[in-house]
Structure 1
Amino acid sequence: MTQEREPQVALVTGANKGIGFAIASGLGALGFVVAVGARDSARRGEAVGRLEAAGIEAFGVALDVTSDSSAAQAADIIAQRTGRLDVLVNNAGLAGRSDHGAQDPTTLDLDVLRTVLDTNVLGAVRVTNAVLPLLARAPSPRIVNVSSNMGSLALHTGPILAAYAPSKTLLNSLTVQYARRFEGTNIIINACCPGYVATDFTGHLPDRTPEEGAAIAVRLATLADDGPRGGFFDDGGEVPW
Structure 2
Amino acid sequence: MDTKSIMEALQAPFPQEDIEWRVGSTNKDKTKGLALAYVTNRAIQNRLDEVFGPFGWQNQFKEWKQGSQLCGISIKFEDEWITKWDGADDSNQEAIKGGLSDSMKRAAYQWGIGRYLYKLPKNWVEIEPAGHSYKIKRKPSLPAWALPKGAKPDEQSTQPDATPPEPTAAIKSKWELIGGKPEVLNKWFFNQMLEGKTVEEVDQILTKQLEEKMGAEVINEQKGA
Report the TM-score range of the alignment, normalised by the length of the smaller protein.
Answer: under 0.3
Please report the TM-score for the alignment, with normalisation by the length of structure 2: 0.23
Please report the TM-score for the alignment, with normalisation by the length of structure 1: 0.22
Higher Cα Rg, which structure: 2
